[in-house]
């Protein structure tokens, strides 16, 4: 009798805010490599609106912001005075319960709120085992190195490849240093 062992590697993406150092660490994957991407914690210029609604029985207030090329609509609760939300979002005067971009391609909605029964922090990641890079290095790897991926593919010998500017369609479209470059 033979047995087969199947190993399944699950990659978990996360964002970790270090509020003391004002740094956001995100675990990201580029092709088959994983990285801890470090950047300054984002500052959102939220516009608070008077529009209100109820989500799951919780009264929420509308806010909007533009971030890295997308316009986001957020609904937050001032009942929970924590300035936090999903993905990289933060900075509203309450817990972000729902947020989405204006096209609704990206959409986060809280399922539930529950009190943790223990005081223990369950966030255990060995940061030393994953290569750390800056957000600028990540952008180069993710968007500007596409030609290398094509060249590493198994194209027939002698094939010529021309790659133009690749339009981004990810969650982040334009980065701060690119906006600054355009202004100059």
More confident residue, 153 or 93: 93
| 96: exposed, middle or buried (Cβ count in 10 Å: 0-12, 13-18, 19+) | buried
CA dihedral 61, 90, 47, 110 (to 10 degrees): -30
Which pair of tokens denotes residue 9? 């590697």
Express as a percent the part of the chain with pLDDT over 70: 79
Q: What is the pTM of this model?
A: 0.79
More confident residue, 149 or 116: 116
Q: Where are the domains of the chain?
A: 47-109
pLDDT at position 23 is 93
- For residue 110, the Cα-to-chain-centroid distance in whole angstroms is 16
Structural element, H or E, at residue 27: strand 23-30
Mean pLDDT value across the chain:
83
Cα separation, 97 vs 99, in Å, equals 7
The string of pLDDT tens digits covering residues 86-125 is 999 999 999 999 999 999 999 999 988 887 777 665 556 6
Backbone angles phi, psi at 143, to 5 degrees: -115, -35
């Amino acid at each position: 009798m033979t047995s087969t062992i199947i190993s399944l590697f699950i990659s978990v993406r996360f964002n970790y805010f270090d509020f003391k150092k004002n740094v956001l660490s995100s675990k990201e994957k580029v092709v088959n490599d994983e990285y801890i991407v470090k950047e300054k914690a984002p500052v959102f210029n939220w516009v608070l609106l008077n529009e209100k609604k109820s989500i799951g029985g919780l009264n929420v207030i509308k806010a909007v912001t533009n971030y890295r090329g997308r316009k986001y609509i957020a609904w937050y609760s001032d009942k929970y005075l924590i300035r936090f939300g999903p993905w990289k979002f933060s900075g509203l005067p309450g817990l972000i319960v729902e947020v989405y971009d204006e096209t609704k391609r990206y959409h986060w909605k809280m399922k539930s709120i529950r009190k943790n029964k223990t005081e223990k922090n369950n966030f255990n990641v060995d940061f030393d085992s994953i290569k750390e890079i800056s957000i600028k290095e990540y952008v180069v790897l993710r968007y500007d190195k596409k030609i290398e991926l094509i060249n590493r593919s198994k194209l027939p010998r002698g094939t010529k490849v021309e790659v133009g500017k690749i339009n981004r369609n990810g969650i982040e479209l334009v980065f701060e240093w690119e906006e600054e470059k355009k202004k100059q």
